[in-house]
């Protein structure tokens, strides 16, 4: 009893050990499912659309997925505060599982698009919940370790999910491959639903409907314009119109949030300078991933002359590393608060250096350089995963834990979309004269990686000169 009394104030939602283990296992299952859905759909997009004779809709199909997640991540975080964290896992989790199962049996384009968008919306609603729950049921010193377990789950789910999905599809079991991610999702819903108390805001629930509408319009306008701008032209009236509508909606959203009783994103969060800077660091840490995922294979195949199979295996060592290292890094970060800024420094510097190395891509470069560079980013990713979110949570009052954590995830997801547009411009400026010319492709790839290196090195400087002074004194 004495131990419980001692530990209770340090944990927002105290749980008996068995229930705590069950909830943490549920969080791991949820992240396994999220990663599996992402990589399974990435792997199976072509077979799925080929089955309905709709290969011309690949880009729209992909955008629908990211758009749903981007829109619902901040909304889900706030709804979790209002209706309870358990409910925001169980209800969207069930919707996602049902939509995912239905997706496996539908063979018509429009219903497939609707279901893919619905899956994205449902995932966005609960994606931040495991990170929030980890911060609520654990003592602060144990949160980085819990985050490391979630990062490991993402690596395992993505890696294993894509391989198994590919094997099943090759065996003619496309339906089974699509159904597969629902298994850990249902397990996670049950584990959390049966063991986590539904702590929610007392009194009448007031949902910021106007803020939700403004946010949806803002994200749709800006994200769709960013996605289609490089293909249809940035001067296209529709693209310009999308940016204008999106920016106008952002202005409207800010005005609505200033007056809302229960704002979707409390603007007071941005008055917390340390939290705001951590949002910036998180954005920067995710910025390079589009360069790695999209342009590293292009550089390997079109400049270095690697085979498609070899280019496809570039991330294999990195993935293996991120299955193991995050949990170890989380234990280390949890030992001292000062280790958090050191982890962020590793998370930025060990991206900037590999990106700089790839910025000198040329035909004489050994493919081993690509393998080593990308593997090193796995070290960075492992330390990023266990440092930024726990540190951001530590700056927030309990009432803002949900929406604050969701905002971190939201900013991270936006980084990929904005980076895709920035890298697209850098690449297209160098290859516009002849997109098939190897020399121009080399210039384009180098420009992309140099851009990623510069942006990430700026993040390293922010960690050293802004974040470090705020965290270091705690150990003095």
**Length of the chain in residues, anyone?**
476
Question: In the predicted model, what is the mean pLDDT of residues 234-258?
Answer: 93
Largest CA distance in the chain: 74
* pLDDT tens-place string over residues 185-243: 999 999 999 999 988 766 676 788 899 999 999 988 988 888 788 778 888 999 999 99
Question: In the predicted model, what is the mean pLDDT of residues 178-185?
Answer: 92
pLDDT for 413 equals: 83
The Cα 298–Cα 306 span in angstroms is 9
Question: In the predicted model, what is the mean pLDDT of residues 261-282?
Answer: 91
The Cα 131–Cα 133 span in angstroms is 6
- Residue 164: band (very low, low, confident or very high) from pLDDT cuts 50, 70, 90: confident
* 8: pLDDT strictly greater than 80: no
Question: In the predicted model, what is the mean pLDDT of residues 164-175?
Answer: 80
Which of 29-33, 91-95, 397-401 is the least confident region?
397-401
Scanning the structure block, which residue is given the tokens 């399974």?
40
Answer whether 188's CB lies under 8 Å from 90's CB.
Answer: no
pLDDT for 435 equals: 82
Question: In the predicted model, what is the mean pLDDT of residues 14-23?
Answer: 93
Give me the chain's average pLDDT, please: 87
pLDDT for 55 equals: 67
* pLDDT tens-place string over residues 139-154: 888 899 999 999 999 8
* 406: pLDDT strictly greater than 80: yes
Question: In the predicted model, what is the mean pLDDT of residues 401-409?
Answer: 87
Which of 57-66, 89-98, 126-135, 292-301 is the least confident region?
57-66
Answer whether 44's CB lies under 8 Å from 181's CB.
Answer: no
pLDDT for 444 equals: 92
% of residues, the chain, pLDDT over 90: 47
* 10: pLDDT strictly greater than 80: no
Scanning the structure block, which residue is given the tokens 């859905």?
37
pLDDT for 161 equals: 76
DSSP collapsed to 3 states, the chain: CHHHHHHHHHCCCCCCHHHHHHHHHHHHHHHHHHHHHHHHHHHHHHHHHHCCCCHHHHHHHHHHHHHHHHHHHHHHHHHHHHHCHHHHHHHHHHHHHHHHHHHHHCCCHHHHHHHHHHHHHHHHHHHCHHHHHHHHHCCHHHHHHHHHHHHHHHHHHHHHHHHHHHHHHHCCCHHHHHHCCHHHHHHHHHHHHHHCCCCCCCCCCCCCHHHHHHHHHHHHHHHHHHHHHHHHCCCCHHHHHHHHHHHHHHHHHHHHHHHCCCCCCCHHHHHCHHHHHHHHHHHHHHHCHHHHHHHHHHHHHHHCCCCHHHHHCCCHHHHHHHHHHHHHHHHHHHHCCHHHHHHHHHHHHHHHHHHHHHCCCCCCCCHHHHHHHHHHHHHHHHHHHCCHHHHHHHCCCHHHHHHHHHHHHHHHHHHHHHHHHHHHHHHHHHHCCCCCCHHHHHHHHHHHHHHHHHHHHHHHHHHHHHHHHHHHHHHC
pLDDT for 265 equals: 87
| Burial of 317 from C-beta contacts in 10 A (0-12 / 13-18 / 19+) | middle
Long-range CB contacts for residues 243-250, cutoff 8 Å, separation at least 24: 245/217, 245/221, 246/217, 246/218, 246/219, 246/220, 246/221, 246/222, 247/218, 247/221, 247/222, 249/214, 249/215, 249/217, 249/218, 249/221, 250/214, 250/218, 250/222
* 4: pLDDT strictly greater than 70: no
| Cβ partners under 8 Å of residue 454, min gap 6 | none
* 9: pLDDT strictly greater than 70: no
Answer whether 90's CB lies under 8 Å from 97's CB.
Answer: no
The Cα 380–Cα 329 span in angstroms is 10
- Residue 374: band (very low, low, confident or very high) from pLDDT cuts 50, 70, 90: very high
pLDDT for 5 equals: 40
The Cα 72–Cα 75 span in angstroms is 5
Question: In the predicted model, what is the mean pLDDT of residues 404-412?
Answer: 89
Q: How far is CA 105 from the centre of its chain?
A: 28
pLDDT for 433 equals: 84
Answer whether 264's CB lies under 8 Å from 446's CB.
Answer: no
* 66: pLDDT strictly greater than 80: no
Q: Which two tokens stand for residue 257?
A: 């949030």
Q: Which two tokens stand for residue 269?
A: 């969060």
Give the Cβ contact number of residue 303 at 10 Å. 21
> Model pTM?
0.81
* pLDDT tens-place string over residues 31-64: 999 988 877 776 666 677 777 787 667 667 767 7
* pLDDT tens-place string over residues 296-317: 988 998 899 988 778 878 888 9
pLDDT for 262 equals: 83
Question: In the predicted model, what is the mean pLDDT of residues 262-271?
Answer: 88
Q: Which two tokens stand for residue 124?
A: 């966005």
* 121: pLDDT strictly greater than 60: yes
């Amino acid at each position: 009893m004495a131990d419980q009394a001692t530990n209770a104030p340090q944990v927002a939602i105290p749980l008996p050990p068995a229930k705590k283990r069950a909830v943490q296992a549920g969080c791991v299952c949820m992240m396994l499912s999220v990663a599996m859905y992402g990589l399974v759909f990435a792997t199976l997009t072509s077979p799925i659309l080929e089955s309905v004779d709709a290969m011309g809709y690949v880009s729209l199909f992909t955008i629908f997925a990211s758009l749903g997640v981007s829109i619902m991540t901040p909304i889900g975080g706030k709804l979790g505060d209002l209706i309870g964290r358990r409910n925001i896992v169980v209800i969207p989790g069930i919707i996602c599982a049902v939509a995912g199962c239905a997706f496996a049996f539908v063979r018509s384009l429009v219903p497939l698009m609707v279901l893919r968008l619905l899956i994205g919306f449902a995932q966005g609603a609960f994606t931040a919940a495991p990170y929030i729950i980890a911060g609520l049921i654990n003592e602060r010193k144990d949160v980085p370790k819990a985050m490391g377990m979630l990062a490991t789950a993402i690596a395992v789910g993505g890696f294993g999910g894509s391989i198994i999905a590919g094997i099943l599809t090759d065996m003619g079991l496309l339906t089974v491959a699509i159904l597969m991610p629902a298994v850990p999702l249902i397990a996670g819903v049950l584990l959390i639903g049966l063991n986590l108390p539904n702590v929610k805001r007392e009194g009448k629930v007031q949902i910021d409907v106007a803020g939700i509408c403004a946010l949806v319009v803002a994200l749709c306008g800006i994200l769709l314009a960013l996605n289609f701008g490089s293909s249809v032209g940035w001067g296209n009236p529709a693209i310009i119109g999308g940016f204008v509508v999106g920016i106008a909606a952002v202005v409207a959203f800010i005005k609505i949030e200033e007056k809302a009783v229960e704002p979707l994103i409390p603007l007071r969060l941005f008055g917390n300078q340390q939290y705001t800077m951590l949002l910036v660091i998180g954005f920067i840490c995710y910025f390079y991933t589009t360069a790695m995922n999209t342009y590293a294979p292009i550089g390997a195949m079109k400049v270095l002359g690697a085979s498609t199979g070899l280019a496809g295996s570039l991330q294999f060592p990195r993935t293996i590393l991120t299955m193991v290292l995050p949990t170890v890094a989380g234990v280390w970060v949890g030992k001292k608060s000062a280790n958090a800024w050191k982890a962020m420094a590793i998370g930025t510097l060990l991206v900037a250096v590999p990106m700089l190395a790839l910025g000198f891509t040329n035909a004489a470069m050994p493919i081993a350089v690509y393998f080593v560079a990308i593997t090193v980013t796995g070290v960075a990713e492992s330390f990023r995963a266990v440092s930024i979110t726990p540190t951001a949570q530590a700056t927030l009052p309990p009432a803002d834990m949900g929406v604050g954590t969701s905002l971190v995830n939201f900013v991270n997801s936006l980084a990929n979309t904005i980076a895709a547009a920035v890298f697209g411009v850098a690449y297209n400026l160098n290859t516009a004269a002849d997109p098939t010319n190897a020399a121009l492709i080399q210039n384009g790839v180098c420009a992309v990686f140099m851009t990623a290196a510069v942006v990430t090195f700026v993040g390293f400087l922010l960690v050293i000169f802004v974040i470090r002074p705020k965290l270091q004194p705690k150990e003095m």
